[in-house]
């Protein structure tokens, strides 16, 4: 096993020993805020950052609740008591998905319609969505921004806070995914779509889940008019772009996508170039539709 963090293989091995899960021959899949290993026997281990045990317990509880509601989602290994915490890092165990692809816009619309129709559970209690979580810290603590860009982003964030606080009511608050995009709905070949990344399942305005794909259509070159129409129809006919508050939520999602790069930029010149491009877009220096590289 190899990993950028030299302690991660040790954490995995000890967690496996405690849980009774075989980790010999583990294959590193992804190293990031969460580290994933593919294990023998069709199991994937997910190692969270230090101090995130509460988040890991939420993921497991939400996954089990979704299974009770017959909503296809990534499945935790039921035979293991989890999470296992090693060096303050929670380790969870999930059944590995078979070969799969990203969902189509129509598949995503149908999955969100099902999710938003669920009655919120008494257990586990779901947190209230905070669309501003982490943004202030990302902007104020980064060392890759110029003084001008830092000031502009901080002012932009403050303006969006004011606008969001004054939004008129939209659809009723319900269960939301929180990070709804085509890559977080896996479609096994063959098989039915499966929800991934359950960290952000919460209570909030359903429009929050609808805006990312709408932005792909209105502000970027990612999906066609026909694909967006298929998304709207699969969801039930609600076109969020007609909501007067759509520009505020669109700008907030775009700000989050910029701040996401602030964590990656210090050590990667390619990310730094992309960050500069995204900032130029937000500041009006690049006309829409925009093209942003994926990271």
Looking at 39, 62, 96, the residue that finishes a domain is 96
| Residues 32 and 75 occupy one common structural domain | yes
Instruction: Output the furthest CA–CA distance in the chain (Å, rounded).
Output: 55
pLDDT of 5 > 90? The answer is no
The total of structural domains in the chain comes to 2
pLDDT of residue 4: 58
Residue 1, in any domain of the structure:
no
pLDDT digits (tens, 9 = 90+) for 93-140: 999 999 999 999 999 999 999 999 999 999 999 999 999 999 999 999
pLDDT of 2 > 70? The answer is no
Per the CB < 8 A criterion, the answer to whether 25 and 96 are in contact is no
| Residues 173 and 44 occupy one common structural domain | no
CA distance 206 to 176: 6
| Residues 166 and 268 occupy one common structural domain | yes
pLDDT digits (tens, 9 = 90+) for 6-42: 789 999 999 999 999 999 999 999 887 899 999 999 9
Range of the domain at 264: 105-282
| Residues 193 and 268 occupy one common structural domain | yes
Q: How far is CA 248 from CA 104, 109, 136, 207, 270, in A?
A: 25, 21, 17, 11, 29
| Residues 230 and 267 occupy one common structural domain | yes
| Residues 244 and 201 occupy one common structural domain | yes
Looking at 41, 65, 96, the residue that finishes a domain is 96
Residue 80's CATH number:
3.30.200.20
Residue 172, in any domain of the structure:
yes
Looking at 55, 71, 96, the residue that finishes a domain is 96
pLDDT of residue 3: 43
Question: Residue 203 pairs with which residues in a beta bridge?
Answer: 128, 175
pLDDT digits (tens, 9 = 90+) for 216-274: 999 998 999 999 999 999 999 999 999 999 999 999 999 999 999 998 898 899 999 99
CA distance 47 to 41: 18
| Residues 218 and 201 occupy one common structural domain | yes
Per DSSP, the residues of 115-181 read HHTSPPPSSSPPPBP-TTTTHHHHHHH-SSS-HHHHHHHHHHHHHHHHHHHTPPP-SPPEEE-SS--
| Residues 260 and 238 occupy one common structural domain | yes
| Residues 113 and 247 occupy one common structural domain | yes
| Residues 70 and 163 occupy one common structural domain | no
| Residues 156 and 91 occupy one common structural domain | no
Burial class of residue 25 in the structure, from the number of CB atoms within 10 Å of its CB (0-12 exposed, 13-18 middle, 19+ buried): exposed
| Residues 202 and 133 occupy one common structural domain | yes
* Residue in the block written with tokens 């399942």: 201
pLDDT digits (tens, 9 = 90+) for 43-87: 999 999 999 999 999 999 999 999 999 999 999 999 999 999 999
Q: Find the DSSP H helices in the chain.
A: 8-19, 53-68, 105-116, 135-141, 147-165, 207-218, 225-235, 246-262, 269-282
């Amino acid at each position: 096993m190899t990993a950028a963090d030299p302690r991660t293989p040790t954490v995995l091995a000890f967690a496996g020993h405690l849980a009774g899960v075989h980790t010999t021959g583990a294959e590193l899949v992804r190293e990031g805020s969460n580290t994933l290993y593919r294990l023998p026997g069709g199991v994937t281990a997910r190692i969270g950052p230090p101090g995130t045990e509460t988040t890991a317990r939420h993921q497991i509880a939400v996954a089990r609740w979704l299974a009770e509601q017959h909503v296809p989602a990534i499945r935790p290994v039921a035979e293991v008591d989890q999470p296992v915490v090693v060096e303050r890092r929670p380790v969870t165990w999930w059944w590995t998905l078979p070969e799969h692809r990203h969902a189509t816009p129509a598949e995503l619309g149908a999955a969100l319609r099902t999710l938003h129709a669920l009655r919120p559970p008494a257990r586990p209690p779901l947190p209230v969505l905070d669309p501003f979580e982490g943004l202030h810290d990302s902007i104020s603590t980064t060392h890759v921004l110029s003084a001008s860009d830092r000031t502009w982003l901080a002012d932009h964030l403050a303006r969006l806070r004011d606008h969001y606080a004054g939004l008129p009511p939209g659809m009723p608050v319900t269960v939301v995914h929180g990070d709804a995009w085509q890559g977080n709905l896996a479609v096994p070949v063959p098989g039915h779509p499966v929800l991934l990344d359950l960290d952000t399942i919460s209570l909030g305005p359903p429009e929050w889940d609808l805006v990312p794909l709408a932005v792909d259509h209105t502000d970027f070159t990612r999906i066609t008019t026909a694909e967006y129409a298929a998304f709207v129809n699969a969801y039930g006919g609600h076109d969020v772009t007609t909501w007067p508050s759509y520009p505020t939520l669109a700008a907030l999602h775009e700000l989050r996508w910029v701040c996401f790069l602030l964590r990656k930029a210090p050590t990667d010149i390619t990310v730094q170039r992309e960050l500069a491009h995204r900032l130029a877009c937000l500041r009006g220096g690049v006309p829409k539709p925009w093209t942003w590289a994926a990271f």
